[in-house]
Structure 1
Amino acid sequence: MGQLPPARVNQSRPFLHSGVDYAGPFQLRTMRGRGGKLYKGYLIIFICLSTSAGHLDVVTDYTTDGFLAAYKRFTGRRGICECLYSDCGTNLIGADRELRALFNKSSNEWKHLANILSNDGTNWKFNPPSAPHFGGKWEGNIRIVKSHLKKIIGFTTLTYEEFVTVLVQIEAVMNSRPLCAVSNDPLNYDVLTPGHFLIGSSLAVVSEPSLLDLKTSRLSRWQHLRQMIESFWKHWSVYYLQSIQNASKWFEAKNIPQLGRLVLIKDERLPPSKWAIARITEMHSGPDGRIRVVTLRTPTTTLTRPITKICLLPEVETDDSDTQ
């Protein structure tokens, strides 16, 4: 495996180096009620390569002007990119012809876009042809968002306003995910999230009573959108917890819990963008000496959980020279 590119490991402000990708199409409606015409909308995602923060937006076509409009909205809130990365147009096998033409390095559309972006000092870089794994940072995010979004929307057609409302709250959920512990202090339960790089603290959605178990026919339009967000959270949070808990053959002891280690607790009852953080205070071994149950201390209570219900967060690396 090769080394990570400099944009992934060097310190920089959020979205200075970003990857971009499209997903869709999604059916949108011009207005609610009868008489509203249907048209296609597309999800566009910008991923910061250094902080893992995400930015979601909607475009209504695959044209140069449509992308520029989305890029202007993105840079107006996140700042001008120094370098923008994307897949080569020939890799977009499942995309429409217009998208392949737009993201083709030899096309007139791309040359026009590259010239406009270069005026602000933005360099647009393509991954090599037939190498989608070069864009794994944004490919993974767009795949997850797209698959879960299609599940929660189903056959419902949303207006542009409703679709943007759902996407912005999904963006907050994504940017609230814990990345690692802030400190090794046993009394510190703070975690670092992508939201800390954007606003200085973790992002959250407005807390409301759960609507997940109610029938859609009983809900108003805005309550239905809230139910979609909760459904996305239910599916996406499980996926994220599984992704940071490496599954491997049980021939070797890996990811062994340690006293004082900061962990995430798997809890399906939590509302969107809320994470259960705790530290390990005791470890209980079985007859074979293997640790399978731990006692956890949260900021409010003490719990006992099997290790299958916890996910270890990365530890803060300390410099030995500073402690000597």
Structure 2
Amino acid sequence: MSDLPSERITPANPFEYTTVDLFGPYKVKDEVRKKVKLKVWGIVFCCMASRAMHTDLVSDQSAEGFLPALKELHMFLDRLEKSKLEYEVSKHGTEWNWRIHPADSLHRNGAAEAAVRTVKQDLHNLGGNGVFTWVILQQPSISLSDPDGLFHVGPQGPVITRGHSFNIICNTDSQYPGGSFHLFRGSNITRTESAVSHSASFFFPEADYSHEGNYSCVYEVSVSSRSFHSSDSELLLITITVILQQPSISLSDPDGLFHVGPQGPVITRGHSFTIICNTDSQYPGGSFHLFRGSSITRTESAVSHSASFFFPEADYSHEGNYSCVYEVSVSSRSFHSSASELLLITITASLLPVIGAAVSAVLLLLSVLIIILLLKRRQKKRNKETHSKCAFKKGQATSHRSKNEEDDKALYENVELDESMDHDEFEQDYINVDSDRSEQDYINVDSDRSEQDYVNVHSDDS
């Protein structure tokens, strides 16, 4: 005898290794159409590790008839230990690996054959005449209704705000009156409500974190004193969250050296500034995250729902779009608010060096002008002194020349006076001589001397 397959002797989770087999057919009668008899086949899923069995009915041997039974198995597995199943699913995936055994090789599927034999024996003990009643209940639907409207549908399901009410509604299309709905959270029945018009509503007055989880509905109805259950509805994943208000962001400058430009505050480089985040929250504590762009730059604890981020010296590296996000922990869970509006901060160069340079230039220019004025004034003074000296010398020369002219004039007058006196004396002498001499001699002498004296006088005058 060969060794048993490894799937039979290796420890595994329930139905991790499963063998399946069909058996039948069986005759069944419809509960509604009592005169109609149908053929159905039984299907058994057997866990190869634990020999656990899951049995269902299929309408035929086609793939379309098999898939609903496989779906029922999946729903059955969802009610097992979910943590282990999620671990195995994340580790190995969710796809099935099929191994088809030939129909004439029953020994290769011994576990399924043994399960079929057990099921047949039980059915024989129950049925007696071999005719069974088959009640087919459709899969119910499940939905969420929020009277306050404070929920949104996330990628995995509805997200409800903590503290608000909500309704889970189960519906089915059934040909049987009455019945009830069981609401499952995970694998446990949380509540049961009677069906009214094939519907039931499960009201939760105040959403809390204990209400999170996967919900499903199962419809149950009694037919001919026998209870029948529908398959599970699809899963409804409900998440409870806390909605935090959008924080505000503002700028404070202790030095007051900033102004608001068309795009936001403009801060002078080198000066301090503070970014302030505020929010209105119903939860104490928490913290604020300061974002520059998409990166967290700093985090500060909230004090009275506010936090300040101090920058002692503004630099160009501080430019950018800033926003605040408020985070708070509620019931050991962390929640974040939406980001605040953007605060665009621009850093500009300080004007003090420019002003200092301008003042220095003005002072230098004034000094140069003062020096030039002093030099010009000194030069003008020198020129004035030089002009005065020249004028004085010119005056002396003029007065000296005038004095010389006066002396010359006086000398000329003296000369003329002397000549006159000489002429008079000569005339006197002439008269005297003429009186003594003859008239002929007078004429000769007078002509001779007068001409000679005249020439001499005029030569002296010239």
TM-score by length of 1: 0.36
Whichever of the two has the greater Rg, that structure is 2
Which structure features the higher share of strand residues?
2
TM-score normalised over the length of structure 2: 0.26
Higher relative contact order (CA 8 A, sep 6+): 1
